[in-house]
Structure 1
Amino acid sequence: MLMNVISASQRLSKSATSTTLFRHDALINNVYRYQSFNFCSSTNNNTNNNNNNNNNDHVKLKVPRVKYTNLLKYYHNYNKLVYSWGSGSNGKLGLRNDVTQLIKPTLIEDLLYDNITNISCCTTCSLFATDKSRLYGCGNNAYGQLIIGNGKIPLLETIQPIDEEFHKTIADSGKRLVQLTSGTYHNGAVYDDGTAYLWGSGNSGQVGAAKYARLQFQPLLNTKLSNLGTKQLALGSTFSLALTNDGDIYSFGSAMFNELGHDSEFTERVPKKIVTNYKFTAISAGYFHGIALTTGNKVVVWGRNQEGQCKPVESGMEKGCFSGLFELDLSGVNGKVIHIRSGSFSNYILTDSGNMYSIGSNSHGQLGVGDDFKFGELNHIKSIENIQMFWTGHQYVIAKDSQGRYYGWGSNYDFQLANEKRCVYNMPILLDNLSSIGNIEEIAASVTHY
């Protein structure tokens, strides 16, 4: 990750609209936190910002009331700053338990002395990792998401280091954390030697434990994935995907919508390879569906298709619909696909020409094309040019263009777009509260927050 160093004086010269992000006492160190979205940023007033591609949401479901939180990360004095905004109870915003709603990104001062390199959110908590692979967390721990207390500490109202024993094991091994990611109530970590750990809710087998464990309080080393060499994890609601160094995808957890890609509704507790002739370079997971990018620049989707997130569905047949592995029609796409991501019930792709496309649910305007959209087909988001990167939440999206401006669309009922007006935006709007911050390196959002 490349980020420019910014001094306190440079940051104080920023627009007054960002004063809550740039308080003098908050400039002493570099970490700020936000919950339902996490992103890293760097600012340089005299040079062009680096744009980093991140390689790194049938039966009608009752989706829980969602609250959204965001996290942002900056470099300052060679450290990274993390900010948070949106809505979130139980301290998951990282700013004390009584702070439950933020419209503008706000600095999290507890991490000022730590060089945060990775950030992630599950539904009810936030996780942070330092350059020494030290893990910190805050929020609800009812499902063991925060690796602390063996079920006896249900809540961390402030940011705390978590699981000293696990940290010592990692530190002694010399491993470096390369990915920290979250599903609804489970989390995962990938290290530079290809080892993969998972923890949290395991009721559907989503942590990969061979024996049933409703809750996995301690990080579980997945021996099978580690022996194969793990490149990336993608965690959905109650299932998990793993991309190996050989370009294969392994899946485990629930299978009610074929989210495991095996054309079966049988739960898998041990990672099982998706049988296909494709080799893959990137994966992402929605609530109950998956999306993957192949070495041949094809986009493959599978799983729940009730909202048309995989392919067209005959009118009246949407309920209960799911899909096997299906290749999206890219004939109308301009450019080579360089980035893929899932929302809870939608998918998104970005090409090297700066064009972005969406498919799936548009219940909260999250497709970014207004009310006139093509169900089960890719929709071109034409109102923004030269998109460089984007991040997805439950029913909302944030994107960055080549000029360093940030746009958002979808639900803003919990201020997850850092905009003052609580409503649904079915077309992209400029997010001044984010654009004023500078170049954001990373945003991490959970499938849902509440």
Structure 2
Amino acid sequence: MKKYSYIIAFFILSTAALAQNNHQQYEGIDSVKHGSFNPNEAHSFHEWFKNGHVSGLFRSNTIQTFRPSSNSFHAASGLGGRIYYHSAYWHGLQVGVGGIYTYNILSTDLSETADHEFNPKWEHQLFDLEDPQNKHDLDRLEELFIKYRFKDSYIKFGKMVLNTPLVNPQDSRMKPSAFQGLWLDWNEGHKFEINGGFLNKVSPRSTTEWISMSESIGLYDRLLGDDTTHREVHTKGLALLGGHYIPNEHISFHSWQYYIENVSFITFNQLEFDVHDLNFGLQYYYQSTTHENEYTDIEHTNHTISARAKWVGDRLQISYNHTQSLSDNGIIFPSEWGGEPFYTTISRHRIIGLENVNSKALKLDLQPFDNWKSLNIGIYGVNSSFNNSNEESSLTQLSFDMQTQFRGEWSDLRLRLLNSYFIPKGYQEEHFHYESIFHSQLILNYRF
């Protein structure tokens, strides 16, 4: 009965959302701002630590997935939090440390030995992918760095959370992706900024250990059961460089270069401009294999473009988005390192790894109340057609995504409710999306 109540609730919420709002480009509540929490200057070694700042969040996260055709249902609920301490600045130096703790409060059987019709993929990712039966030992050191600031620029070394188009926290579970390495941000040119660095270790989302970049490549495929073949990849790490030019409030240009040593080179470019109430965006992605390896073919190249046309009103934003492959090969980039940056991207919808992609998305965003501007509800529809094992396939996803920040003394409490319905066509039976899926997620964050 609970399963069918869930379906009814999905359609009720979707219908009600036609009078509501969400803006997909807003900062999601399922994320934590990282960086300099504390700009205070210290005048002694003692004040360096005494004037430090503690911040973080408490999180409740519940996921449910139901397949009506096979009458299969899985659910998981996690509770945990994050605590970060950043010292004050002393002679430009700052140190930071932070960690995560998580508890499996309640879940259906997520073990590999369970008799599943399918792999409970999203429920697995809420805790520890490497040990699905682990319910208590789920803590992880997430930040441990030293940082030097000069004017508006800085250099940071150690463990940290980064946010770039392809390398990012993808933080909709209990543990986001975090990285170890060197990071530089130069911001002395006012309209022009450069940032980048080199990363040699990662703790992927939904895991508890720090591993080399080589070990992380293909980790999700092995742990989630989509690929039982272990492809050994040898790389010293990832070098990345971003350039950002914003000449005025109407135009912005971003260019990112990613070099996976001994594997491939990727460039991602984005140009956006505003004309009155209209916003237009264009993205170009290019990838080429640089050395023979076990991850990509030596002749592998990919060209992909993504475009957006959006109208922005006082309480309504509506956009048409289109992503198109210009080559037969698919995009190959480790999903362990982050989510996708394309205009057609919405939560739970990925095109990385798919060949000959033609993806179209319609996004409707509304803000209904002047006195509750943080209430954002969105209706999104995406259809992606592609080749799957040389057969034409497609995946349609309809999503209702509500996010809000409460008011008054509860202003630090935030909520996200995501409901999605997946309609596959042409998938092979062993694939995760071989039949229709109802999926729901509820996140509560209390930031401090």
Question: Is the pair's TM-score, using the shorter chain for normalization, greater than 0.5?
Answer: no
Q: Identify which of structures 1 and 2 has the higher relative contact order when contacts are C-alpha pairs closer than 8 Å and 6+ apart.
A: 1
Higher strand share: 2
TM-score (norm: length of structure 2): 0.33
TM-score (norm: length of structure 1): 0.33
State which structure, 1 or 2, has the greater radius of gyration over its C-alpha atoms: 2
